[in-house]
Amino acid sequence: MDAVLELEHVTRTYGHGPHAVHALRDLDARLYAHSLTAVMGPSGSGKSTFLQCAAGLDSPTSGSVRLAGREISTMGERKLTRLRRERIGFVFQSFNLLPTLTAQENVLLPLRLGGRRRSAPNTDRARRMLARVGLAGREDARPGELSGGQQQRVAIARALITEPDVVFADEPTGALDQDTAAGVLRLLREAVSAYGATVVVVTHAPAVAALADRVLRLADGRLAHDTAGAGAGAGVRA
Ligand code: ADP
């Protein structure tokens, strides 16, 4: 099976000497295409640092991070910016939509930032993507006119529109009530099962484990457990 993301001997240390904090300690992990991986662990275990290093938002102190076969841990900032824009999707706890743009314009944003003009095919694609996430008919709504769950659906559509190698979701349900959160998680599951996306969810929410193909549990900057989740999608690896 193809590893989309490979971390080898990844160490991330903040600070120096006696005050150094070892956020990741010699961590190895491989994530496979078309699967939903949950990254869990107590507060301070290194989840955010894992996400930042894996998504090219931060560089490890040592070790290797390969995304779709390309080494990103040593990549320059310009190349990284382009890679993040074109090959990685992001979903955040706080949605991070632009309030002055409509739902459809928010979804189109990654394509426009990538230099692609507003074109009829792209607009159609954005509409289809919004329909897939259950927002047909709400294309012209601005984020302030949508519920939290709907805003997160727009954010998921935006993350998927470039067909990225990996979508990273950082506590995507942290700002939502339980029922709304369950709907958003099902949508991420569906993105994997129906559309072949590769999704990594960093979360405290135990409900994610039930939908994930795989659960990576961090403890003190190390991979404490790597287990199959209860998710039913393709890409399950015990
Ligand atoms: P989690 O996301 O699981 O809560 P983090 O990756 O945020 O864990 O943090 C792991 C460890 O690294 C913690 O001890 C945290 O205090 C420390 N840490 C995270 N970011 C920084 C930073 N910018 N400077 C110093 N220490 C940090």
Cα–Cα distance between 48 and 181 in angstroms, integer?
A: 20
Q: Say what the pLDDT of residue 75 is.
A: 95
CA of 159 to the centre of ligand 1 (A): 25
Tokens of 15: 């600070």
Pocket of ligand 1 (CB under 6 A): 14, 21, 23, 41, 43-49
Condensed to tens digits (0 to 9), the pLDDT of residues 172-220 reads 999 999 999 999 999 999 999 988 999 999 998 888 888 999 999 999 9
Question: How many Cα atoms within 13 Å fall on the side-chain side of residue 84?
Answer: 19
In a 10 Å sphere around its CB, with 0-12 CB exposed, 13-18 middle and 19+ buried, how is residue 221 labelled? buried
- Mapped onto helix, strand or coil, the DSSP state of residue 203 is coil
Going from N- to C-terminal start, the domains of the chain cover 3-228
Segment 69-124, tens digit of pLDDT: 999 999 999 999 999 999 999 999 999 999 999 999 999 999 888 776 667 788 99
Pocket test for ligand 1, best of 11, 16, 21, 47 (most atoms within 8 A of CB): 21
Looking at the CA of residue 45, tell me the nearest atom of ligand 1: 3
Ligand 1 center to 5 CA (angstroms)? 22
27-51 pLDDT per residue, tens: 999 999 999 999 999 999 999 999 9
Q: Is 121 exposed, middle or buried (0-12, 13-18, 19+ CB in 10 A)?
A: exposed
Res 236: pLDDT? 39
* Whole-prediction pTM: 0.92
Nearest CA to ligand 1 atom 6: 46
DSSP assignments along 30-89, one per residue = EEETT-EEEEE-STTSSHHHHHHHHTTSS--SEEEEEETTEE-TT--HHHHHHHHHHHEE
Fold of 3-228: Rossmann fold (3.40.50)
* Residue 91 pLDDT: 96
Taking the centre of ligand 1 as the mean of its atom positions, its distance from the CA of residue 143, in whole angstroms, is: 31
